[in-house]
């Protein structure tokens, strides 16, 4: 009895287990058979349920809906502006075959258990297959770049503008920049999700670095509506107008470490220095040396021209003082000038300057010269009177003498003009330069610059001891190496035709040895020349130049201090050969010509 009851309970249990399993198996077989080649229920493509449809039916359905047709434009929003992005422009295309394939494989992958689980989810929850589309992202990027260029706005920093009369502040403005990468990602997301609503283009706001300048304290800025005054001690007051100051400065604004605006008025030191140099050119005054004649009998000076102190604005020293005043916002500054003392003071005595004795002299002869030549010679000699050369100073004939011009009273006479003799202003001047050269040469002074004449001139005596000048390029210079002041004193004897240049100072104790001149490269004189002179009467012939040989002359001079040789120099002069020159009146028969000219 017990055994029979157990058997019945066992059979009942087997039936309760097998019957559901068989039923489930039959259901699954029927379910799979029913949806063979068809999409399982619960699958949605886009917004369309496609359960029970074949792949071809899904393709047909998608082609009849928005997914298969040309899509409306995607709206891009930049601020309040909406911009359509055409789907055709970007090559937007839905992949219908791929969507149908994706819908068909839902619930058909994995093991039996995975598929059963997948069927349950499809029936209970359903499943949406997102629409996949292709498009040209390069075109989208180009559209966004155009938007960036069109709608971007540069940041504007607050400005502080200084005109010639006042300072004005202007507020800044936020900048706008399109974030290209973020905007591209937003558009792609909208396209993938089939979202046609406005897609905000990602905009980035850029704030100005400089805070608002409207409340800025402007006391550090110079007030440009009033002029800037420069007081120079001992000279006077000068005014720079606001236009000059405005051109020489600019305003610099930046943010300080505390985040507050900082403003500095920057000054162009190069421009200010140029203005100071212009001011210096107007007020600088060179020191003027006294001209002192010396009387050997009374041993006293005669003041021919008083000395005068000079002044100089030291620009490099004045510039920092000026900049400091301007940077402090001042409207005035005081500058100083440097006093320049004359090298030769009119209040000095001969003893003060060491002018106590004759230290050298030179002499030439001009008897027989024309009246014009004598006039010029005396005039230029007198222009040298009072010349005082400081210790180690350089005597320059063109500096210490006056300009040889008709305006200064010089007359026409025969002069050496290059390689010929001609009538010109200042004939006879070179006799004075030659005489000064001899005084300096025989007293042992260092010769700084000396040029010989083109040919030997009889007025100057032995060749090798002459010195020509021609303003402004040809000069005669020597250095005062005595260690004391040196005074040049001309002595002119017009009756006897003698010119002497005396040098007074302190005897330096030199011994001067001048060797005999050495002559070489001697050439015979040129043929005589005849030249018509309309100022001469008919039949008159006058010789004005004499034949001279051409040659090279060297003169050696040794200057000693005791046994020590201070200077050992050789002066070389190269003379070209010269012929006699005769002047004749119009209609005069020239000797040897055979006929009247």
Q: pLDDT digit string (tens) for 239-283? A: 887 777 777 877 666 666 666 666 666 788 999 999 999 999 999
- In the chain, where the domains are located: 1-34, 35-139, 152-206, 228-340, 350-584
CA distance 41 to 28: 14
- Peptide bond before 472: cis, by omega within 30 degrees of 0? yes
pLDDT of the residue at 33:
65
Using H for helix, E for strand and C for coil, what is the string for 94-142? ECHHHHHHHHHCCCCCCCHHHHHHHHHHHHHCCEEECCCEECCHHHHHH
How many other CB atoms are there within 10 angstroms of residue 3's CB atom?
Answer: 6
Q: For residues 191 and 168, what is the distance between their CA atoms, to the nearest angstrom? A: 51
CB 397 within 8 A of CB 490: no
Residue with token string 């068989």: 22
Closest CA to 406 of 425, 392, 378, 381: 425
pLDDT for the residue 392: 96
Phi-psi bin for 392: left (phi > 0), alpha (psi -120 to 50), beta? left
pTM of the model: 0.59
In the Cβ-directed half-sphere of 303, how many Cα atoms lie within 13 Å?
12
- Reply yes or no: is the peptide bond before residue 44 cis, omega within 30 of 0: no
Q: Which residues pair with 277 in a beta bridge?
A: none
Q: What confidence tens digit (pLDDT) does each residue in 124-167 have?
A: 877 777 776 777 777 778 877 777 777 778 877 665 555 544 55
- Residue 32 confidence (pLDDT): 67
Alpha helices in 384-472 (DSSP H): 397-400, 429-442
Going from the first residue of the chain to its last (597 residues), give the mean pLDDT of each consecutive group of 10, the final group possibly shorter. Answer: 63 65 60 72 76 75 60 73 75 72 75 75 74 74 78 72 55 77 80 72 74 50 67 89 76 64 75 92 93 94 94 94 86 92 94 96 89 88 94 94 66 47 58 95 96 86 89 89 97 94 96 95 91 86 86 96 95 92 86 53
Q: Which residues, 6+ apart, have CB-to-CB distance to 44 below 8 Å?
A: 50, 126, 127, 128, 129
Going 86 to 90 to 93 to 95, the CA torsion angle's sign is: negative
User: What does the pLDDT read at residue 345?
Assistant: 94
Q: Are 45 and 55 in contact (CB under 8 A)?
A: no
Domain 228-340 in CATH 3.30.160? The answer is no
Task: Give me the pLDDT at residue 2, please.
Answer: 60
Non-local (6+) Cβ contacts of 270 within 8 A are none
Cβ-based neighbour number of residue 61 at 10 Å:
19
């Amino acid at each position: 009895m017990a055994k029979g009851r157990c058997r019945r309970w066992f059979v009942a249990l087997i039936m309760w287990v097998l019957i559901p399993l068989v039923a489930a198996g039959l259901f699954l077989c029927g379910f799979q058979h029913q949806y063979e080649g068809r999409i399982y229920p619960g699958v949605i493509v886009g917004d369309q349920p496609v359960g029970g449809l074949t792949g071809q039916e899904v393709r047909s359905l998608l082609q009849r809906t928005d997914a298969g047709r040309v899509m409306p434009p995607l709206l891009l929003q930049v601020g309040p502006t909406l911009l359509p992005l055409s789907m055709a422009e970007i090559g937007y295309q839905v992949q219908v075959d791929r969507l149908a394939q994706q819908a068909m494989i839902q619930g058909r992958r994995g093991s039996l258990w995975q598929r059963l689980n997948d069927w349950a989810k499809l029936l209970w929850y359903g499943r949406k297959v997102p629409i996949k589309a292709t498009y040209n992202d390069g075109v989208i990027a180009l559209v966004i770049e155009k938007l960036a260029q069109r709608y971007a706005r540069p940041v504007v920093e607050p400005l502080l503008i200084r005109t010639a009369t006042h300072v004005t502040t202007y507020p800044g403005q936020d900048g706008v920049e399109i974030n290209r990468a973020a905007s591209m990602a937003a558009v792609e997301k909208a396209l993938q999700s089939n979202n046609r609503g406005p897609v905000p283009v990602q905009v980035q706001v850029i704030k100005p670095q400089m805070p608002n300048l409207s409340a800025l304290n402007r006391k550090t800025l110079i007030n440009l509506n009033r002029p800037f005054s420069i007081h120079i001690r001992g000279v006077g007051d000068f005014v720079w107008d606001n236009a000059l100051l405005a051109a020489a400065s600019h305003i610099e604004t930046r943010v300080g470490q505390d985040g507050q605006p900082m403003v500095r008025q920057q000054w162009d030191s190069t421009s200010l220095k140029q203005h100071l140099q212009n001011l210096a050119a107007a007020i600088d005054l060179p020191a003027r040396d006294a001209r002192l004649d010396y009387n050997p009998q009374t041993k006293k000076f005669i003041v021919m021209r008083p000395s005068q102190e000079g002044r100089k604005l030291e620009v490099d020293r004045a510039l920092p003082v000026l900049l400091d005043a301007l940077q402090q916002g001042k409207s005035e500054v005081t500058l100083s000038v440097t006093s320049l003392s004359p090298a030769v003071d009119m209040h000095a005595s001969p003893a003060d300057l060491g002018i106590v004795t004759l230290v050298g002299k030179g002499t030439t002869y001009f008897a027989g010269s024309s009246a014009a030549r004598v006039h010029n010679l005396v005039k230029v000699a007198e222009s040298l009177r009072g010349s005082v050369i400081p210790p180690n100073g350089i005597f320059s004939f063109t500096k210490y003498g006056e300009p040889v011009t008709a305006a200064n009273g010089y007359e026409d006479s025969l002069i050496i003009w290059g390689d010929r003799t001609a009538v010109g202003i200042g004939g006879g001047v070179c006799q004075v330069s030659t005489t000064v050269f001899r005084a300096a040469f025989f007293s042992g002074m260092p010769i700084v610059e000396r040029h010989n004449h083109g040919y030997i001139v009889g007025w100057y005596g032995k060749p090798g001891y002459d010195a020509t000048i021609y303003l402004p390029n040809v000069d005669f210079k020597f250095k005062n190496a005595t260690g004391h002041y040196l005074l040049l004193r001309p002595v002119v004897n017009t009756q006897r035709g003698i010119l002497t240049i005396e040098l007074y100072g302190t005897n330096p104790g030199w011994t001067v040895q001048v060797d005999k001149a050495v002559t070489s490269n001697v050439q015979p004189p040129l043929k005589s020349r005849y030249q018509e002179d309309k100022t001469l009467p008919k039949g008159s012939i006058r010789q004005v130049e004499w034949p001279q040989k051409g040659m090279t002359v060297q003169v050696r001079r040794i200057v000693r201090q005791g046994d020590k040789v201070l200077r050992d120099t050789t002066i070389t002069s190269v003379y070209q050969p010269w012929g006699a020159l005769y002047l004749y009146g119009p209609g005069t028969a020239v000797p040897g010509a055979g006929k009247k000219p």
